[in-house]
Amino acid sequence: MINPMELIDRTILVTGASSGIGRETAILLSQLGAHLILVGRNSEQLEKTHELLEGTAHQVYAFDLSNVDEIPRWMKEITSASGPLHGLVHSAGVQFTRPLRIVSSEGIEEIMRINVTAALLLAKAFRQKGVSVDSGSIVYLSSVMGLVGQSGQSAYSASKGALVTLTKSLALELSRENIRVNCVAPAMVRTEMSEKMLELLTPEQAIHIEAMHPLGLGRPRDVANAIAFLLADTARWITGTTLVVDGGYTAH
C-alpha cells in the first residue's frame, strides 16, 4: 500500500519535543518512519518522549533556544554526528496572557526571542552547507492568535503573526536552495498547558472558549497530522503558506 506521507529514513529535528504538540508530532513522525532529533530544555521530559517513539536511531539534545546566537554552531555540531536533516519543526514557544497595562519590555523580548528570533536563526542554521539535504522542509508552529486578535494576547499575537510573514519571506529566499518553508496555525488544543489554563477559568468562561471552536477543542494529533503533511512529499509543491487547523475558530 502506498503511503504518500511516509518519511522512511528521513531525519527531522523537532524543537519543543518534551510535551504537547511537539511530543505528539515526534511520535507521529516516528510512526511514519522518520529518525527524530528531539530538542528541548528539559532532558527528563525529552527522554519520556524518546520512550514513546517507534523505530531506532533517534537522538535527544537538551538545548535552550534562548541562546539564539549559538543555534547555527550547535546545529552544525549535531548534524555532523547525525547526518544532514530532511526537515525541521519549530514547535517550541512561549505563551502568556498579559493585559496591556502590565506588559513589560522584558516579557515582550522573552516571547519574541523564542517565537521569532530563534525561528529565524533555526532557518539560518538549517540552510548551512551539510546541515540539510536538497529539498528540505521547515515547518513553524504559529497560532490563530497570529491571524485574529484577542484581549490580553497582544505580545503573543504579534510574535505568531510575525511567524506568518516570516514564513512567506523565507519561502521566497530559500526556494533557490530548494528548501520549503510553511507554518501551521492551530487554535486551542488539549495539551497539559491548555488544560491548566482552563482550570483557572470559571465554567462559563471555559464553555465560551470551547463554543468558539465549532468542531470542539483540538487534540495534539490534529496539529501533528498537518505538520507531517507539510514535511512529506504530499506538500512538495507547497511553500510560503499557513495551514490553519482550528476547528472552525477563524470561520466566525
Q: How far apart are CA 54 and CA 39, in angstroms?
A: 17
Confidence label for 94 from pLDDT (cuts 50, 70 and 90): confident
The whole-number pLDDT of residue 205 equals: 84
**Angle (CA) 243 249 252, round 5°:** 115
The whole-number pLDDT of residue 98 equals: 76
**Could you tell me the fold of the domain covering 11-188+219-244?**
Rossmann fold (3.40.50)
User: What one-character DSSP code corresponds to residue 189?
Assistant: B
User: What one-character DSSP code corresponds to residue 99?
Assistant: -
**pLDDT of 163 strictly over 90:** yes
- List the chain domain ranges: 11-188+219-244
Question: Which listed residue (61, 140, 156, 249) is catalytic?
Answer: 156
Confidence label for 200 from pLDDT (cuts 50, 70 and 90): confident
Q: How far apart are CA 220 and CA 229, in angstroms?
A: 14
156 among known catalytic residues? yes
Say whether pTM exceeds 0.85.
Answer: yes
